[in-house]
Structure 1
Amino acid sequence: MISLLKNNLLDSLKTVAPLIIVAGLLQMTLVQALTLLFFQFLAGVALVVLGMTLLFIGIDLGVLPMGRFIGAELPKQGSIAFILSVAFVMGFATTIAEPDVLVLTSQVGNISQGGTGRTSLLYLIAGGVGVFVALAMARIVYGASMRVLLTISLGIVILLSFIAPADIVPLAYDAGSVTTGVLTAPIVLALAAGLSSVLAGRDAISDGFGLLGFASIGPIVVIMIMGLLS
Structure 2
Amino acid sequence: MHALHPLALALLATLRDMAPILVTIALFQGLVLGVWPDDPLGLLAGLIAILIGLTLLVRGLEMSLFPIGEALADAMARRGHPVWLMGFAFALGFGSTVAEPALAAVAAQAASAMVADPDFPATEAQLAALTVQIRYGVAFGLGLALMLGVWRILKGWPLIWFVLPGYGVIALIAALTNAPFVAVALDLGTAATSAINIPLMLALGIGLASSLRSRNALVDGFGMVVIASLTPMLLFLAAAFLLVPGG
Distance 1:81 1:165 in 2: 41
Distance 1:122 1:141 in 2: 29
- Say which of 156, 168, 181 aligns to 1:168: 181
**Pairwise CA distance, 1:2:** 4.8
Structure 1 pair 143–205 and aligned structure 2 pair: CA distance change class (3 A): same
**Which residue of structure 1 lines up, in the alignment, with residue 98 of structure 2?**
96
**Pairwise CA distance, 1:99:** 0.4
User: Partner of 1:145: helix, strand, or coil?
Assistant: coil
Distance 1:118 1:52 in 2: 23
Distance 1:16 1:169 in 2: 31
Distance 1:158 1:25 in 2: 36
**Which residue of structure 1 lines up, in the alignment, with residue 190 of structure 2?**
177
- Say which of 227, 236, 239 aligns to 1:223: 236
1:125-164 equivalence runs, <5 A: 125-161=138-174
**Pairwise CA distance, 1:204:** 3.3
- 1:5-30 Cα offsets, whole Å, 9 max, x none, are 24422221111112322333345441
Q: Does 2:42 align with 1:31?
A: no
**Which residue of structure 2 lines up, in the alignment, with residue 112 of structure 1?**
114
Query: One-letter code of the match for 2:36?
Result: Q
Q: RCO greater where, 1 or 2, for CA within 8 Å and sep 6 or more?
A: 1
TM-score when scaled to structure 1?
Answer: 0.87
**Which residue of structure 2 lines up, in the alignment, with residue 209 of structure 1?**
222
**Which residue of structure 1 lines up, in the alignment, with residue 87 of structure 2?**
85
**Which residue of structure 2 lines up, in the alignment, with residue 58 of structure 1?**
60
- Tell whether the 8 Å contact from 2:111 to 2:131 is kept in structure 1 after alignment: yes
Structure 1 pair 24–17 and aligned structure 2 pair: CA distance change class (3 A): same
Structure 1 pair 70–160 and aligned structure 2 pair: CA distance change class (3 A): farther
Query: One-letter code of the match for 1:141?
Result: L
**Which residue of structure 2 lines up, in the alignment, with residue 190 of structure 1?**
203
Question: How many matched pairs?
Answer: 228
**Pairwise CA distance, 1:229:** 1.5
TM-score when scaled to structure 2?
Answer: 0.82
User: Partner of 1:112: helix, strand, or coil?
Assistant: helix
Q: Which runs of 4+ in 1 moved over 6 A?
A: none
- Say which of 122, 140, 143 aligns to 2:135: 122
- Say which of 70, 73, 76 aligns to 2:75: 73
Q: CA RMSD in A?
A: 2.3
Distance 2:37 2:147 in 1: 49
